[in-house]
Amino acid sequence: MINGNLKSNYAADERVLNNRYKQVFVYGMALLLAVFGALANDYLILIASKMGLLLIAVVGINILTGYTGLVSLGHAAFVAIGAYAVTIFQNVTAGIIPDGIMIFFAVPFAVFLAAAIGVIVGLPSLRVKGLYLAVATLAANFIVIFLIEQDVFARWTGGMVGLTTNAPSLFGWVLDTKREMFGLIAVVGFVTLLAAQNLIRTRIGRAFIAIRDRDYSAEILGISLLRYKLTSFSISAAYCGLSGALFAYFYARILPEQFELDLSLELVAALIVGGMGRTMGPVFGVIIIVMVPEVIKITFGAITGDAAGMAQLRAPLQEIAFGVLLVVFLLKEPLGINQIVDRMLRAANRWPFARG
């Protein structure tokens, strides 16, 4: 808590950006992103876009796991649904809906589809212990990817080979460079993060947290457990679907193997490492999860100098690093980077009155 941060009316007290520092931070970040988008080189734009895409999905996972306390190990399925839905929708309606406004139909379709399937997957598994939900979502992930890969459906899904995707068009302005797409991703990311924050401030978000902390206590306050768990599940599925839709627009091609268990685990790991149940958690987590493999790639390349036979060691190394990162955080700082940052900010706030 910051000292001297007093307000004179309830409205001011209820604001999210209730002190100078937070305001400067948020507006500053927005400005920084804009400048970055304009000036950074292509490689950095690529990295940042990856982070942005992942961020939207991890914010969804944060709502489900961080705030409601439900564990899902299969949300990559919803990312896949979003990506494929958008692409298939465009392929199917190409002649009917004009290109300029296609995105305004395709994306909502994908998001709603993801949310709807989220309800179906969530329904049986929300009646029992969290463990069952974890395995049920794992199963759902396998099933969805399997179905996408099958030759039977290859006509629509492209099977193992995947589908090529188009660049989106906003009223005629075609976003065919990565830089332009980054702009879209950044804006959508910002808005979805804000929306999630809003959700937490209202009765819905509070209900989620209540369910996480003590579900029987939530029940006697009038919160229907099944209904709210299902709501949380489908909102998180919708977020992942949105991420998938943008993913499809960003990359030239989508393949079923991009949405397997690995992605699901990446999402959860990003959340844990960044900090569960806090607004900035997903942001920190996404930065780390994307940067660590890149750093390994660069240092590995520098050390081995692209020697043949060494190259195949890089992927396993990245995998191990990922696992180690997750485990270390769980053992040492389960509340994630957010907690570390909090501690530093608190110390800075008190300085020079107290150490530590």
Q: Which is nearer to other proteins, 95 or 316 (CB)?
A: 316
CA distance 356 to 354: 7
CB contact set of 17 (below 8 Å; sequence gap of 6+):
23, 26
Q: Which is nearer to other proteins, 8 or 312 (CB)?
A: 312
Strands 253-254 and 163-164: antiparallel
Shortest Å, Cβ 325 to other proteins: 8
Shortest Å, Cβ 52 to other proteins: 19
Give the angle subtended at the CA of 68 by the CAs of 204 and 128, to the nearest 5°: 120
- Residue 199, classified by CB atoms within 10 Å of its CB into exposed (0-12), middle (13-18) or buried (19+), is middle
Q: Which is nearer to other proteins, 46 or 325 (CB)?
A: 325
Shortest Å, Cβ 80 to other proteins: 15
**DSSP code, position 202:** S
Shortest Å, Cβ 201 to other proteins: 6
Shortest Å, Cβ 16 to other proteins: 9
- Residue 264, classified by CB atoms within 10 Å of its CB into exposed (0-12), middle (13-18) or buried (19+), is buried
Contact status, residue 125 vs residue 132, Cβ threshold 8 Å: yes
Shortest Å, Cβ 287 to other proteins: 19
Count, residues in the chain: 356
CA distance 241 to 132: 23
Q: Which is nearer to other proteins, 23 or 177 (CB)?
A: 23
Beta bridge partners of 164: 253
Q: Which is nearer to other proteins, 20 or 227 (CB)?
A: 227
Q: Which is nearer to other proteins, 44 or 310 (CB)?
A: 310
